[in-house]
Amino acid sequence: MFSSVLDRPTLILNRSWQAVAVSTAARSLVKVYRGAAHVVDPNDYQLYDWNDWAALPAAAEEVMITTPYFQLRAPEVVVLSHYDCAPDATVSFSRRNLFRRDQFTCQYCGKRPGSDDLTVDHVVPRSRGGASCWENCVLACVKCNRRKADKSPAQARMPLLRQPKKPRWKPIYAAHGVRLGSWAKFVSDVYWNIELES
Ligand SMILES: [Zn+2]
């Protein structure tokens, strides 16, 4: 699933134990090494600094980071020592995020032709003042986009499958298609929904 153990995802918590980002095992371990973070054991919430973590023996079935000198466990969760920002609760409006929200599905005919045959359609056309925003943009297949052309859904008689809205998921999960089971203890379920669907 990951090209190396070092690329395995790690959940980053702030000092209040709120999830603020997803990083890689490699970058998280650098933070721990510098004293900027501690590894959290998701089973018992015990904290480990670099020396404690490096001294842990390999657990059964656990993936280890192997160096010429020692072996390290790949952390699944780390908590930052000096970062108190709240997580960014907004999802940026972007082509990539729009594809995720609409799950690569044409919002008019419901087909999933592949990303090359999907376009971003302005529900109210730009020529009529339609804005580029979550509420006015949907994915449309090339065929539906041509058919709808410069008309509103009502004029084109092409109802939307669902009303476009700003997604409720957080950017930290939108940016990564992966999550680990142990993270569920630190992140409210509501934010996983979109990940589970895709
Ligand atoms: Zn279509």
Cβ atoms of 175 and 22 within 8 Å: the answer is yes
Distance between Cα 15 and ligand 1 center (Å): 46
Note the pLDDT tens digit of each residue in 121-175.
Answer: 999 998 988 889 999 999 999 999 999 999 999 999 999 999 999 887 665 554 5
Residues forming a β-bridge with 122: 137
pLDDT averages per 10-residue partition of the chain, 198 residues: 76 84 88 94 93 84 76 90 65 85 95 94 91 93 96 94 84 60 69 35
Domains of the chain: 5-88+170-197 (no CATH), 95-156 (1.10.30.50)
What's the predicted TM-score (pTM) here? 0.54
What residues does the ion ligand 1 have nearby, CB within 5 Å? Answer: 106, 108-109, 141, 144
Distance between Cα 166 and ligand 1 center (Å): 21
Q: State the Cα–Cα distance between residues 26 and 168, nearest whole angstrom.
A: 29
Structure tokens at 149: 């052309």
Distance between Cα 152 and ligand 1 center (Å): 15
Residues forming a β-bridge with 140: 119
Distance between Cα 50 and ligand 1 center (Å): 53
User: Residue 170's pLDDT is what?
Assistant: 61
